[in-house]
Amino acid sequence: MKIIIINGPNLNLLGKREPAIYGGKTFESYFGDLQSKFEDLELEYYQSNIEGELIDKIQEVGFTYDGIILNAAAYTHTSVGLGDVVKAINTPVVEVHISNTHQREDFRHVSYISPGAKGVILGFGLQSYELAIRSFL
Ligand code: DQA
């Protein structure tokens, strides 16, 4: 089973960025933990700060992979293009957020991704990604 985790803008700063909200661990280190935990899966990780690159990657994998775990970060709340590509592909997308966006500012309560997503997992810290993987198994 081939699953890709796609992270959007500023998630390359995990470990340094607002640790009270996002924790103190880098995503690379957490991704290593996930790979050891799910050795039977083909797990991939991609991150970009650029909206069009995220759309290109989703188009590239969205007709052949078994699952996409997407944390579009700030673009979740702004991007019609990302919302559209999630609807355009065949591969199911699980939307993930580290923080509980509904406990935060009003602008974070809107998601352009959710209408096209298979499901949404948020608020469990980095563990949200593991729960998303398990949802595909
Ligand atoms: C986030 C929540 C978003 O509102 C924010 O812009 C992020 C991270 C999360 O994982 O909690 O960058 O997607």
Q: What is the pTM of this model?
A: 0.98
Task: Quote the mean pLDDT of the chain.
Answer: 98
Report, as an integer, the average pLDDT of 117-125: 98
Nearest CA to ligand 1 atom 3: 73
pLDDT of amino acid 5: 98
**96 CA closest ligand 1 atom index:** 10
- pLDDT (tens digit, 9 = 90+) per residue, 44-90? 999 999 999 999 999 999 999 999 999 999 999 999 999 999 999 99
pLDDT of amino acid 115: 98
Nearest CA to ligand 1 atom 13: 73
Catalytic residues: 22, 97
Pocket test for ligand 1, best of 7, 16, 27, 76 (most atoms within 8 A of CB): 76
pLDDT of amino acid 35: 97
Q: Which residues contact 21 (CB under 8 A, 6 or more apart)?
A: 98, 99
Using CA atoms of 5, 112, 82, 52 in order, give the dihedral in degrees to the nearest 10.
-100
pLDDT classification of 6: cutoffs 50, 70, 90: very high
CA 80 / ligand 1 centre spacing (Å): 17
Assign 56 to helix, strand or coil: helix
**Which residue segments constitute the domains of the chain, with CATH numbers given?**
2-136 (3.40.50.9100)
Beta strands 42-47 and 2-7, pairing class: parallel
